[in-house]
């Protein structure tokens, strides 16, 4: 009893001591943080500026952002020859200590030391690849706004778009990203930075473009476009700010504006490009073989450019090195964040990948095929995509071609190629049993689109198109089909009748020769 009485008397004193120690520790931490912020501000004065490769030709006519700023511009050239120089800029008011900007950035890329790019432990947990030519990866970054400890907005890329649309009839910069459903009503203002390092803050809030009938998915995070109206000169970078005065402490990090060099890209566009409808994820030991088969078959079909979105924790470095070495002019690899299954994004951010890829290739290719690694658009009467599209004789107002889905069943025995290091026969030629589950254009179709006439692409059809080019051509199965070579056939198709189909066999010699040499 006496021991319990002593404990009751001592306990309050112990609690008071613990509170005092915690307060001292917190004060020290806060003092250290302020010291770091002051150091960052001083370092900003040492920055330098450079010039873009393809500067805008129009003369600016605008009101310069009134706040006195300290400018910091750095440029690093993208490894891709067709892309313009990469520009990042950091701006800080003399009265500000730091902006509340959170950046998620894969360790594939060099970490930005700017005071407005504060990396957290969660962001830096990815492991860097060693001894690989990482410069072949096209640099990208994620940026988020911090609000009450929750990351409600996630921005990835921005592109200049000179086309008029229903939402905004004037040229605009399209900022792409995800937003929490609960934060859909948040308004953003656009802070543009130009070639000469001057800035302007938009007088009108950005227009939110979201077609619910097409983009609606059962996830908390929704993919959106924010349209920032461009009045005169095309900006180099853009920030989205929740402040009407574009205050930096309430903004995203600066995002490079793509497609500024439209005239350069339009000089010699390629005919066909491929946007893979999801991130590249390595799941088995035959992954490299699957990728090689896909690239070689696509090249035979007529594809000149194939875009993969990759994260270094999901793809072995041997795969990336092989792609860079053997397909330097055909394959583009775009850095992508690793999404976890528990995160509130649809299929590893698939919808944003598709949208980014379309705008990225808008002026580089005439047609984009939206397919996966286990799919291939097969012409029936012709021997290439070019001949097939020409045979459609479609009018100018057609912006996309939809292909019916057919599954090609995997055979029980694995066939080996002779005199080719015992490599397996590519799936396109080994699988000759075809199932068409539900004939028509609503069950897992895929499409080939003209990107200059598409505003909002999606997985199986486009959500918004340019006026006067809004027609869809349903490709008859006697002209072309989508061959689906997935390892497991869906249950609703298992009992459908099969028939022999060696449609792809006529391409076997050329593809196998490319694989084996």
Give me the tens of pLDDT residue by residue for the chain, a chain 517 residues long.
444 554 556 566 666 766 665 555 444 443 433 333 333 333 333 332 222 223 233 333 333 322 322 222 222 333 333 333 322 233 333 333 222 222 222 222 222 322 222 222 222 222 233 334 445 788 788 888 755 345 688 899 999 998 888 888 889 999 999 888 888 888 999 999 999 999 999 999 999 987 555 766 677 888 889 999 998 899 999 999 999 999 888 889 999 999 988 776 667 789 999 999 899 999 888 899 999 999 999 999 999 999 999 988 899 989 999 999 999 999 999 999 888 878 888 888 898 999 999 999 999 999 999 999 999 999 999 999 999 999 999 898 999 999 999 999 987 677 788 888 778 899 999 999 999 899 889 899 999 999 999 999 988 889 889 999 999 999 999 999 999 999 888 998 988 999 999 999 999 999 999 999 8
Q: Are residues 255 and 273 in the same domain?
A: no
Query: Are 493 and 374 in a shared domain?
Result: yes
Measured CA to CA, the distance from residue 309 to residue 350 in angstroms comes to 10
Same domain, 459 and 351: yes
Question: Are both 255 and 389 inside the same structural domain?
Answer: no
Environment class of residue 309 by beta-carbon count within 10 Å: exposed (0-12), middle (13-18) or buried (19+)? buried
Task: Please give the backbone phi and psi of residue 19, each rounded to the nearest 5 degrees, phi first.
Answer: -65, -40
Q: Is the entire prediction scored with pTM above 0.85? A: no
Question: Does residue 37 lie in a domain region?
Answer: no
**Nearest residue to 82 via CA among 260, 324, 298, 280:** 260
Residue 22 lies in a domain: no
CA dist 121 and 388 (Å) reads: 51
Same domain, yes or no: 304 and 253:
no
Instruction: Tell me: do 248 and 276 sit in the same domain.
Output: no
169 and 286 inside one domain:
no
Say whether both 194 and 214 belong to one domain: yes
Q: Are residues 462 and 403 in the same domain?
A: yes
- Tell me if 33 is assigned to some domain: no
**437 part of a folded domain:** yes
Q: Is 30 a member of any domain?
A: no
Count of structural domains within the chain: 2
Same domain flag for 379 and 275: yes
Residue 5 placed within a domain = no
Of 240, 261, 282, the residue at which a domain comes to its end is: 261
Q: Does residue 428 sit within a domain?
A: yes
The strand ranges marked E within 255-339 are 255-258, 270-276, 303-310, 331-335
Asked if 200 and 75 sit in the same domain, the reply is yes
Last residue of a domain, one of 233, 261, 289: 261
Is residue 2 assigned to a domain?
no
Query: Of 222, 237, 261, which closes a domain?
Result: 261
Note down the domain range covering 376.
269-516
């Amino acid at each position: 009893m006496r021991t319990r009485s002593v404990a009751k008397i001592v306990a309050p004193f112990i609690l008071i001591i613990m509170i005092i120690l915690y307060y001292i520790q917190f004060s020290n931490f806060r003092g250290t943080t302020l010291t770091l912020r002051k150091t960052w501000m001083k370092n900003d004065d040492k920055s330098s500026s450079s010039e873009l490769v393809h500067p805008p030709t129009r003369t600016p006519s605008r009101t310069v952002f009134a706040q006195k700023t300290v400018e910091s511009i750095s440029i690093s050239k993208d490894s891709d020859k067709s892309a313009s120089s990469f520009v990042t800029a950091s701006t800080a008011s003399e009265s500000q200590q730091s902006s509340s900007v959170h950046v998620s950035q894969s360790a594939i890329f060099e970490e930005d030391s700017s005071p407005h790019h504060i990396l957290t432990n969660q962001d830096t947990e990815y492991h860097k690849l060693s001894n690989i030519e990482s410069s072949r990866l096209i640099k990208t970054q994620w940026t988020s706004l911090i609000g009450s400890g929750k990351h409600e907005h996630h921005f990835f890329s921005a592109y200049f778009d000179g086309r008029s649309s229903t939402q905004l009839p004037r040229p605009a910069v399209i900022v792409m990203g995800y937003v929490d459903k609960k934060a859909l009503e948040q308004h953003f203002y656009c802070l543009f930075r130009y070639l000469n390092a001057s800035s302007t803050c938009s007088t009108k809030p950005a227009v939110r473009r979201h077609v619910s009938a097409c983009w609606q998915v059962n996830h908390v995070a929704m993919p959106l476009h924010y349209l920032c109206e461009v009045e005169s000169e095309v900006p180099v970078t853009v920030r989205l700010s929740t402040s009407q005065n574009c205050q930096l402490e309430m903004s995203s990090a600066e995002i490079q504006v793509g497609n500024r060099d439209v005239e350069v890209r339009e000089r010699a566009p390629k005919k066909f490009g491929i946007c893979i409808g999801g991130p590249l994820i390595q799941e088995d030991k035959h992954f490299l073989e699957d990728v090689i088969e896909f690239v070689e078959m696509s090249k035979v079909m007529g594809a000149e450019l194939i875009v993969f979105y990759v994260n270094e924790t999901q793809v072995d470095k041997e795969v990336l090195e092989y792609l860079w070495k053997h397909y330097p002019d055909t394959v583009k690899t775009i850095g992508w964040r690793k999404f976890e299954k528990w995160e509130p994004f649809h299929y590893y951010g698939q919808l944003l990948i598709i949208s980014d890829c379309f705008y990225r290739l808008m002026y580089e290719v005439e047609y984009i095929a939206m397919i996966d690694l286990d799919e291939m658009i097969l012409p029936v009467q012709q021997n290439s995509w070019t001949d097939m599209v020409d045979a459609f004789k479609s009018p100018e107002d057609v912006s996309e071609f939809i292909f019916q889905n057919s599954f090609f069943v995997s055979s029980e025995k694995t066939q080996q190629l002779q005199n080719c290091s015992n490599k397996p026969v590519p799936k396109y030629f080994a699988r000759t049993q075809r199932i068409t589950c539900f004939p028509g254009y609503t069950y897992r179709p895929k499409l080939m689109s003209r990107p200059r006439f598409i505003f909002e692409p999606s997985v199986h059809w486009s959500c918004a198109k340019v006026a006067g080019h809004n027609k869809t051509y349903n490709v008859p199965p006697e002209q072309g089909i989508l061959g689906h070579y997935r390892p497991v056939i869906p249950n609703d198709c298992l009992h459908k009748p099969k028939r022999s189909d060696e449609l792809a066999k006529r391409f076997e010699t050329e593809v196998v020769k490319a694989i084996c040499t």
